[in-house]
């Protein structure tokens, strides 16, 4: 099962309830999300730094569906 949560004041807050019985033990593995540009950074022929590429990829002005 994979779900999203937010860490707030020392507690993970889940976005939806879990389907477990009360007192049921589970094992939890936590992975922090990585941006798409950071995952693809090594695959591109990009000579700038990762922060600059992330800015360019996230800028609404650079989205292909936005009018120029």
For 27-58, write each residue's pLDDT tens digit. 989 887 777 666 666 677 778 777 787 777 77
Question: Is 67 contained in some domain?
Answer: no
pTM to 2 decimal places: 0.42
Within a domain: residue 55?
yes
Could you tell me if residue 54 is inside a domain? yes
Within a domain: 26: yes
What is the rounded distance in angstroms from the CA atom of residue 32 to the CA atom of residue 15? 16
Structural domains of the chain, count? 1
Residue 39 falls within a domain, yes or no?
yes
Range of the domain at 55: 5-62
- Residue 11's φ and ψ, nearest 5 degrees, are -130, 140
pLDDT value of residue 27: 93
16 within some domain: yes
Report if residue 68 sits inside a domain.
Answer: no
Whether the pLDDT of residue 9 is over 80: the answer is yes
């Amino acid at each position: 099962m994979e779900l999203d949560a937010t860490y707030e004041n020392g507690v993970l807050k889940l976005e939806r309830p879990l389907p477990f019985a009360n007192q049921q033990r589970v094992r939890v593995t936590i992975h922090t999300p990585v941006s798409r540009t950071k995952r693809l950074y090594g695959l591109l022929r990009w000579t700038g730094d990762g922060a600059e590429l992330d800015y360019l990829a996230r800028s609404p002005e650079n989205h292909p569906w936005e009018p120029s």
